[in-house]
């Protein structure tokens, strides 16, 4: 056979393969319809607003009746948006249509393939396809933007709707329109002041506004963002997000001592040993390498540690541990719930020796030598979570003095 014959045979084989892939779904009685890109974006946007209502209710900023009313309004808007879409699934009421489509594909695909072959090398065809795809995506983005703008228009007639302005701000953040989000938070703050919401609510709005403004400025928290942070801390000195942002702003300015002050104030309010507390602790440790505090006396430094061994009995060794499993060595002062220091180790290294020193203190301003006696224990977390769970394996609890070595913590010995 000539090369031309091989070419046509190859084209025929590709057509048969394409039909083998396309025809079975069309001939099936249960064809699955995928959700359109517009609906996916719409549902994600409304889900974010629904979750925001739940967070505001849990924080005590939104009463149960107000939450129910807001959820009803949110559902009505979602249903209205979905019902306004043209129906795209009526073919399910016509059982003959999939089979007719299969027949059409079986006939038209070879014809279309031949036509495409005739246009091979024509760049205008590819350009037209790309242009059509861009138009489709542009239409979807425009529709989402129109939905958000519709919410903004409604809020202009409801200037005291605090939750509405917050939802609009969250929507802008989802679309990465951070400057518009900052303006929406500003409107929410004005509404909160008009209806005389308490200072903690206003401080939260100011912190959110500062975060949005900082994102709009590429992470720069100076100017209006810095003013919002300062006002938030004036209204509520314990506001978590404002303290975190204030520390970040201080680091960008090179004021590590001020950053440490803000982050230590934040750490004191967090659940000891929680993931966020450990992250703040790690950030504080990084600050120490940049701006180390005055050295302690040599005698105190020599005893500002604890060391020993974590044993791994045969009964516990039989456990099948996932790769993310962690062991937490926890040091507490007698009578105090919050740990003094925490050391994290991978469980796969057990049995192992450990040394816990100033780098593992939850509060770098406090040394192990500040306590006459300490309680040392270990906890194995199969999930690697910082918060305790019923599945964790614990060790015995030892009483030790600062500087003690040769400690023996046996997992499963509690």
Cα–Cα distance for residue pair 329/342, rounded to 1 Å: 6
Taking the domains of the chain in order of start, what are their residue ranges?
A: 148-290, 303-410
For residue 50, give every residue at least 6 positions away whose Cβ sits within 8 Å of its Cβ, in sequence order, or none. Answer: 71, 74
For residue 78, what pLDDT band results from cuts at 50, 70 and 90? low
Q: Kindly compute the dihedral angle of the four CA atoms of residues 211, 217, 222, 225, in this order, to the nearest 10 degrees.
A: -30
Is a pLDDT exceeding 60 seen at residue 213? yes
What is the topology classification, in CATH, of domain 148-290? 1.25.40
For residues 171-200, average pLDDT: 89
pLDDT higher for 243 or 286? 243
For residue 232, what pLDDT band results from cuts at 50, 70 and 90? very high
For residue 99, what pLDDT band results from cuts at 50, 70 and 90? low
For residues 89-98, average pLDDT: 45
**According to the model, what pLDDT value does residue 265 have?**
93
Is a pLDDT exceeding 70 seen at residue 168? yes
In percent, how much of the chain has pLDDT > 70? 67
Is a pLDDT exceeding 70 seen at residue 125? no
For residues 36-52, average pLDDT: 71
For residues 363-375, average pLDDT: 87
Q: Give the pTM.
A: 0.44
Q: What does the mean pLDDT of the chain come to?
A: 76
Domain 303-410, architecture per CATH: Sandwich (2.60)
**According to the model, what pLDDT value does residue 88 have?**
46
Is a pLDDT exceeding 90 seen at residue 33? no
pLDDT tens string 298-343 = 544 557 889 999 988 766 665 677 888 888 999 999 888 788 999 9
Contact 98, 31 (CB under 8 A): yes
Beta bridge partners of 399: 375
Q: How would you classify the pairing of strands 407-410 and 306-311?
A: parallel
**According to the model, what pLDDT value does residue 89 have?**
45
**According to the model, what pLDDT value does residue 8 have?**
58
For residue 84, what pLDDT band results from cuts at 50, 70 and 90? low
């Amino acid at each position: 056979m000539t090369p031309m014959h091989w070419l046509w045979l190859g084209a025929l084989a590709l057509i048969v393969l394409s039909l083998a892939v396309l025809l079975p779904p069309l001939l099936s009685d249960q064809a699955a319809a995928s959700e359109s890109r517009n609906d996916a974006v719409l549902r994600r946007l409304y889900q974010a607003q629904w979750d925001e209502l739940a967070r505001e209710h849990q924080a005590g900023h939104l009463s149960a009746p107000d939450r129910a009313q807001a959820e009803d309004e949110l559902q009505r808007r979602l249903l209205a948006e979905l019902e306004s879409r043209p129906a795209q699934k009526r073919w399910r009421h016509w059982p003959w249509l999939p089979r007719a489509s299969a027949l059409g594909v079986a006939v038209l695909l070879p014809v279309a393939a031949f036509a495409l072959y005739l246009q091979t090398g024509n760049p205008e065809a590819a350009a037209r396809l790309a242009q059509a795809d861009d138009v489709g995506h542009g239409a979807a983005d425009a529709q989402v933007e129109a939905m958000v703008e519709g919410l903004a228009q409604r809020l202009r007639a409801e200037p005291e709707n605090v939750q509405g302005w917050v939802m609009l701000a969250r929507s802008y953040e989802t679309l990465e329109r951070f400057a518009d989000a900052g303006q929406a938070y500003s409107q929410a703050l004005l509404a909160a002041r008009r209806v005389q919401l308490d200072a903690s609510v206003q401080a939260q709005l100011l912190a959110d506004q500062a975060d949005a403004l900082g994102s709009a400025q590429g992470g720069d928290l100076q100017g209006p963002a810095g003013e919002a942070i300062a006002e938030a801390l004036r209204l509520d000195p314990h506001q978590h997000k404002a303290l975190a942002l204030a520390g970040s702003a201080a680091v960008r300015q090179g004021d590590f001592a001020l950053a440490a002050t803000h982050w230590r104030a934040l750490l004191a309010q967090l659940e000891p040993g929680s993931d966020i507390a450990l992250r703040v602790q790690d950030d504080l440790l990084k600050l120490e390498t940049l701006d180390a505090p005055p050295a302690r006396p040599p005698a105190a430094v020599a005893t500002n540690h604890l060391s020993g061994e974590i044993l791994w009995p045969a009964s516990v060794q039989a456990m099948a541990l996932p790769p993310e499993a962690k062991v937490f060595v926890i040091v507490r002062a007698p009578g105090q719930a919050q740990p003094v220091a925490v050391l994290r180790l991978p469980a796969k290294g057990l049995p192992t020796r450990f040394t816990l020193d100033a780098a593992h203190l939850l509060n770098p301003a406090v040394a192990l030598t500040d306590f006459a006696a300490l309680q040392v224990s270990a906890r194995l977390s199969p999930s690697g979570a910082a918060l305790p769970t019923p599945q964790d394996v614990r060790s015995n609890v030892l009483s030790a003095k600062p500087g003690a070595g040769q400690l023996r913590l046996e997992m499963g010995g509690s």
